Structure 1
Amino acid sequence: MFLISHIWLDNQFQIIISESASAHQKILNELTGRGGIVVLNNRQDNLLGSVIVNGKRSVWTLTKAEGVDPIV
């Protein structure tokens, strides 16, 4: 699961993507405190282990704990 929010601040959109609800809320509070307006809030379930990297969906795992250990 990851959270996506779009914030309008300083005449541009700020996009926040987080795995942690507490960290996500902390950033939202900070940006709205600076005058930002929350335009969109979404929760995306991560059933296939994909994330968005540079605007493209990737099959990379979300956390190091979910990934495969490197071969030494």
Structure 2
Amino acid sequence: MFLVSHIWLNNQFQIIISESASVHQKALDKLVGSGGIVVLNNRQDNVLGSVIVNGKRSVWTLTKSEGVELNERN
């Protein structure tokens, strides 16, 4: 899971991408406190992506921390 937010600040879009909800909220609060406006909030639950290795499609984690979580479950 990762969180994506788009904030309009100083005539530019600021984009926050986080894996942690608490870190994401702190960054949002800081930008909104500076006068930013939240335009879009998304949550992506896609834990696994895929890559092609030696001509074969393989499942691959999107981030290092998600990979650690998967290894701990097994």
Q: What is the TM-score with the length of structure 1 in the denominator?
A: 0.71
Which structure has the highest strand share of the two? 2
Gaps of 5+ in 2: 51-59, 69-74
Q: How many residues align?
A: 59
The one-character-per-residue Cα deviations of 1:1-24 (angstroms, maximum 9, x if unpaired) are: 000000000100000000000000
Cα-Cα RMSD: 2.0
Which has the larger helix fraction?
2
Q: Deviations over 1:9-42 (max 9, x none)?
A: 0100000000000000000000000000000000
Ranges in structure 1 where 5+ consecutive residues have no aligned partner:
51-58, 68-72
Q: Which residue identity lines up with residue 44 of structure 1 in the other structure?
A: Q
1:61 aligns with 2:62: yes
| Percent identity of paired positions between Structure 1 and Structure 2 | 69
Aligned residue for 1:41, secondary structure, equals strand
Contact 1:49 1:62 in 2 (8 A): no
One-letter amino acid matched to 1:25:
Q
Max radius of gyration: which structure? 2
